[in-house]
Amino acid sequence: MSSETLPAAAQSRDVERHIFDAELIDDDLPTGPQSNWRRRFMNWWQGSPRVPAALKSRQAAKHAAMDALVFLLRSPWRFLASVGRGAATAVRGWRRWVRVHDYRDAAEQSEKLADKFTEIRALTLFRWKVTGLVALAVAAAVIVAYVVYGGRALWIAAGIGSVTLAVFGRRKDGAPGRKPVLAGPRTLTWTMDPQVLVDAFRDAKLIGKDESLRLVERAAHDGAGWAVTVDLPATRKAADVIKHREALASALAVDELQLIVERVRGRGGHAGRVFLWVADEDPYSGPPLRFPLLDVEFWDAWRSIPFGRDARNRRIDLPVVWTSLVVGAIPRQGKTCASRLPAAGLILDPHTQLYVFDGKGGKDRQAAEAVAHRYVCGDEQEHAEAVRDYLVELVAEVQARFSRMSTLDDEICPESKITPEISRDRDLGMPVTAVIIDEVQVYLENPTRQEIEGKKTTLGAYLADLLTYLARKGPAVGIVVILATQRPDSNTIPSRLRAVLGSRFALRVMDWRDSNIVLGEQMNTRGFDASTLLPSHKGVGILRPDGDTDAGADTLAVTVRTFYMHNAEWRAICERGRSLREAAGTLTGHAAGDDTPRAIDQAAVVKALGSSTGTEAGAPVELPEPLASVVEYLGDDLDQREFVPTAELTEALDVDPSVFARQMGQLECRPTRHRVPDEDGEVRRVRGYFTVDIRAAIDRAVDEISSPGDPEAGPP
């Protein structure tokens, strides 16, 4: 049947199903020598320092026109102010001159003031006489001019005098008697007080008392706040400003959530260039944000999924293919809704496959049962064992996919990584597959003892090993791991699993330790601490993306207010996803009435997991000495304490201090000096280790032991 005989709806579905990327080409673009000449001229025009910046872009011309208009409107008042400042400056200068301050100061410095007293007195009298004679001469000249030329002479004299005083009283940055302000375009003075900004940086101890800032781009009202870009003094770093954002917000008298601080990187940026955005009011208040995918018929899983908006109201899209995601928060902060957003984008692509496990056992994930290839809901022992069987099945599928990829030619599979074409080819059988687990701590903390291929372990530790393998190896063959937990601590999510989770999203948590467990070590020292979020900000969290976002490819983390989707809308998306799969013929597994796991080679799965299988999470035997002994000694204090003195560790472990320091240094964990109170309450500096550095060393050691030589699975 030809395409002309197909119904319009069928043609539309056929086009929507097969066209995913397109590029708009303008056929009327000029070509030939004239086009090349025009291109070279525009390149010269944009790059030439001789062309004024106001003529290089429409936006710059608009700003220049606005500056000119404001200059004209303010000119009369600025002229009068300059005349007044000039008159005051002239009077002060004349007073110092007539009182012989220059001669007097020189005499005082040479300690000969008494000897020069007679000369100073005579010179003072002489300067008074000169002043009188000049005043009489000027008055006589004005009177003669008035008699000869009339009142016009007085106006001319007044004009010349006022212009002279205005020039003499013009503002100069750094001039004696005037406060230093931002160097750069003057338009900042009518949008934002520059001295307030400079004082704020000084109060926050980000610049010295004698240092100032330089304006890079004029301050402008950007959205619901003010934006400005400044250069720090030499040797000052933008990273320090980001780290001390809270202190800068305090100096500016705004909440730290209203202040956005970013380092300007790439072309046009450097280590000392900072972008500041100050919101007019709380940027995270207001009604919930509606999820954009509620209005689309289907979605391509290879596209980034709308996740929320930042303080500047920019939409933040989250890439899901090639990465994994963990969402952590205390209860009732929007964790379930945040984790459902990326799942919704995957559900609306009929070519994806979903493994949905709900450790809560409620109705939050129940609608996904209609589209899930594998589905488990509950926290009983049978549910945990079902999750284990399905994850084992998926690990075997990852191995099979790598094997099938090795047989494909280079045109279909250029690298040992999945492509959009491969994921949609039903003959190859490698669709994008998402493992979505809500309340993952329910399964990872299961203490049931099991023996896996002769190795003793717990069910929770074995599940952690399976998830670690999927998060590490799976992205290359289209496996996406999405975990959500309301207990983000080191016992819930083992370090070997945390280390391979690419994207992290932390809503409000109890303290900075929990925030670092979700976002990564020392993120609080870099200005990102989810424990500082307000309880009233439901759905607001800190996103550390693994990939590009609209906030910038070089953005380390960004505070995001997630879109909201209630249960009825979530159910509608799941129903739409089922309809899409039925039409495409991709409804499988649980949704199609088949819950039987495939037969797999258990020994091959255990071998694939490597040496991490059979070892309980957090067991000291996984770590090299003396790190294992340090972990065993500290126990729960590893998460509770901030600093441990070296003397305490060497005494408790009964080791030589020099040998201990050398061994810890080999593990990239080096001591530092820190102020701690002694038994008498006096603060003294002692040498020791920060627990964040010890935990980082644990993560590195566990990762090296559990996956020696394992290549990264990242995007091409």
Picking from 126-140, 171-185, 379-393, which range would have the lowest pLDDT averaged per residue? 171-185
Query: Is residue 252 pLDDT above 80, yes or no?
Result: yes
Average pLDDT over residues 311-338: 89
User: Which tens digits make up the pLDDT trace of 437-454?
Assistant: 999 989 998 888 888 777
Tell me what pLDDT residue 246 has.
Answer: 87
What pLDDT score does 435 carry?
95
- H helix or E strand, kind and range, residue 218: strand 214-222
Under the banding of pLDDT at 50, 70 and 90, the label for residue 151 is confident
H helix count then E strand count, the chain: 23, 19
113: pLDDT strictly greater than 60: no
Identify any residues that bridge with 317 across adjacent strands, giving them in sequence order.
Answer: 306
User: Is 182's pLDDT higher than 70?
Assistant: no
Q: Which residues pair with 450 in a beta bridge?
A: 457
pLDDT at 491: 67
Lowest mean pLDDT among 94-108, 306-320, 359-373, 533-547: 94-108
> Can you give 91-136 as a three-state secondary structure string?
HHHHHHHHCCHHHHHHHHHCCCCCCCHHHHHHHHHHHHHHHHHHHH
Q: Which residue has the higher pLDDT, 174 or 546?
A: 546
Cite the beta strand spans of 315-398 per DSSP E: 315-318, 325-328, 353-358, 374-377
Residue of 259, 253, 284 lying closest to 274 (CA atoms) = 259
Q: What's 9's DSSP letter?
A: H
CA–CA dist 37, 713 (Å, integer): 46
The answer on pLDDT for 289 being more than 80 is: yes
Mean per-residue pLDDT for 212-232? 82
Say what the pLDDT of residue 432 is.
Answer: 95
Q: How confident is the model at residue 700 (pLDDT cuts 50, 70, 90)?
A: confident
Please give the helix or strand (H or E) that residue 676 lies within, else none: strand 672-677
Contact 449, 458 (CB under 8 A): yes
For 589-628, the pLDDT digits (tens) are: 999 988 877 777 667 677 767 634 334 333 333 577 788 8
Residue 221 has pLDDT above 80, yes or no: no
Q: Same topology for domains 186-279 and 292-609, yes or no?
A: no
Mean per-residue pLDDT over the chain, rounded: 79
**Where is average pLDDT lowest: 53-57, 389-393, 513-517, 581-585?**
53-57
* Strands 305-309 and 558-562, bridge-based pairing: antiparallel
The fold for domain 186-279 equals Threonyl-tRNA Synthetase; Chain A, domain 2 (3.30.980)
Asked if residues 468 and 496 have their Cβ atoms less than 8 Å apart, the reply is yes
Lowest mean pLDDT among 148-152, 272-276, 564-568: 148-152
Tell me the per-residue pLDDT of 380-434, one tens digit each, with 9 for 90 and over: 999 999 999 999 999 999 988 988 888 888 888 888 789 999 999 888 889 999 9
Q: Which of 167-176, 359-368, 619-628 has the highest mean pLDDT?
A: 359-368
Residue with the bigger pLDDT between 542 and 219: it is 542
**Strands 643-645 vs 558-562: parallel, antiparallel or unpaired:** unpaired
Length of the chain: 716
pLDDT in the model for residue 338: 92
- Whole-model pTM? 0.64
679: confidence class by pLDDT, cuts 50, 70, 90: low
Instruction: Give me the mean pLDDT over the 633-640 stretch.
Output: 72
| Residue 32 zone, left/alpha/beta (φ > 0; ψ -120 to 50; rest) | left
Q: What is the mean pLDDT of residues 116-125?
A: 76
Residues near 386 by beta carbon (within 8 Å), at least 6 away in sequence: 376
pLDDT at 542: 92
> What percentage of the chain exceeds 90 in pLDDT?
21
- What's the topology of domain 292-609? Rossmann fold (3.40.50)
- Report the pLDDT averaged over residues 288-303: 92
Work out the average pLDDT over 475-496. 83
Which residue ranges make up each domain of the chain?
58-168, 186-279, 292-609, 620-706
Cα–Cα dist 211/532, whole Å: 31
Q: How far apart are CA 36 and CA 710, in angstroms?
A: 49
